[in-house]
Amino acid sequence: MTVQLQPQSGDRPRERLWSLGPGALTVVELLAIVLGTGMPGATADAIARALLALADGSLRALAQRPPGEFSGVAGVGPAKGARVAAALELGRRMALEGRQAARLVSSPADVHRWLGPVLRDLAVEEFHVLTLDAQNRITRNLLITRGILNSSLVHPREVFRAAIAEAAASVIVVHNHPSGQPAPSADDRAITTQLVEAGRVLDVPVYDHVIVGGDQYFSFAEAGLL
């Protein structure tokens, strides 16, 4: 799909950023700075508006789009598309980094507050292991597998190889459902049972399996399923 542009006169967003600060700029202006330049007949602002139109004006929705779709906007080639994709990924990673100071886990809600913003908008499943020390503090967030569409396979050996390497006292496993529905599938239940049994044998207990779906989560521990 090719998005048509409407020529507009820009307000030099870079100059506004330096004089007023980035917080004073609109999403369109910030995206125009990432794009860098316009094209004959369209400013960077106009291209930014057309790019946002791919996702009905939502940055979160834009981040879920495959980067290849960005080239459907006139004026966005591979280089500019890569810059936009990189900026969106930086925002996603910042959401995680900003929560690293509060690493003590006392409930599944703590896990969701920390990893929910990172996982909720992904288009594919990711399976993470949070390694904990003896005081239930998160020591590492390890990405174990990344699936395609709505499938992510994981084997207990991959989970516990990583946990043992990090000298984990216990673990919490977390994955997302791109559908936005956090209810566990039969496969989710089966892998949880396998992981809990393997953890008992290895003396690295699995404290919880949290599934992120949109802005909601499901906890196997809260549901009494561990």
Measured between alpha carbons, how far is 14 from 77 in angstroms, rounded to an integer? 21
| pTM of the complete model | 0.62
Superfamily designation of domain 101-219 = Cytidine Deaminase, domain 2 (3.40.140.10)
Output the pLDDT for position 2.
Answer: 47
**DSSP annotation of 213:** E
Output the pLDDT for position 125.
Answer: 92
Output the pLDDT for position 6.
Answer: 44
Ranges of each domain in the chain: 13-96, 101-219
Cβ contact 116:212 at 8 Å: yes
Cβ contact 111:105 at 8 Å: yes
Predicted confidence band at 140 (pLDDT cuts at 50, 70, 90)? confident
Q: For residue range 66-105, what is the model confidence (pLDDT) as tens digits?
A: 888 888 888 898 999 999 999 998 887 777 665 554 478 8
Q: For residue range 102-132, what is the model confidence (pLDDT) as tens digits?
A: 478 889 999 999 899 889 888 889 999 999 9
98-106 long-range contacts, Cβ below 8 Å, gap at least 24?
103/137, 103/138, 103/139, 104/135, 104/136, 104/137, 104/138, 105/130, 105/132, 105/136, 105/137, 105/138, 105/172, 105/207, 106/136
Cβ contact 212:182 at 8 Å: yes
Q: For residue range 11-41, what is the model confidence (pLDDT) as tens digits?
A: 588 888 887 788 878 889 999 999 988 888 8
Output the pLDDT for position 41.
Answer: 86
Alpha helix ranges (H) inside the chain: 13-20, 27-35, 44-53, 59-64, 78-97, 108-119, 156-165, 186-202
Phi first, then psi, for residue 212 (nearest 5°) are -95, 125
